[in-house]
Amino acid sequence: TYSLHDFDHAKYLVIFFTCSHCPYVIGSDEVTPATAEKFAPHGVKFVGINSNSEQTYEEDSFEHMVERMQEHKFPWVYLHDQDQTIATAYGALRTPHFYVFDEDRKLVYTGRGVDNPRETSKMTVNDLDNALTQLVNGEEITTPLTNPIGCNVKWAGQDAHWMPPEACDLI
């Protein structure tokens, strides 16, 4: 069990909602860890959270999460939000969906990592890298909000494509 206080040692915090089955997550398997490793020396800590219901996709079970971490050795803690309370509290819409917090744990960026997470070789913008560069340089984040691009969070007891009625694009 983790809480936000377990990451008090990190100067900056990136919490992102991810999973084991989504092609947008899998397509980002090189760029997301590279971004985490690039900014680690600046005190940026990444925390991945899987909130997907394993009843929708068995690949999102805790056991598959462990296998995925062992296979890829991602540079972050990978947490399981089995009851989906964290995804609900954050308003997570998709996987991947990033939330960047400053030193005071104020949300300074939320949205996509890149503009083409499924095929990062075709990306033209790395919004997460841009936001983190501005953050660690003490600059204002020029684009604090983007729409996350990816698979919707898989909610327990719902169809695979169901979204909460209040869910909408952020911008």
Distances 149 to 90, 110, 127, 159 between C-alpha atoms, Å? 16, 12, 12, 19
At residue 78, the 3 state secondary structure works out as: strand
Q: Are strands 97-101 and 12-18 parallel, antiparallel or unpaired?
A: antiparallel
pLDDT digits (tens, 9 = 90+) for 123-152: 999 999 999 999 999 999 999 999 999 999
pLDDT digits (tens, 9 = 90+) for 66-100: 999 999 999 999 999 999 999 999 999 899 999 99
- Fill in the amino acid letter for 160: A
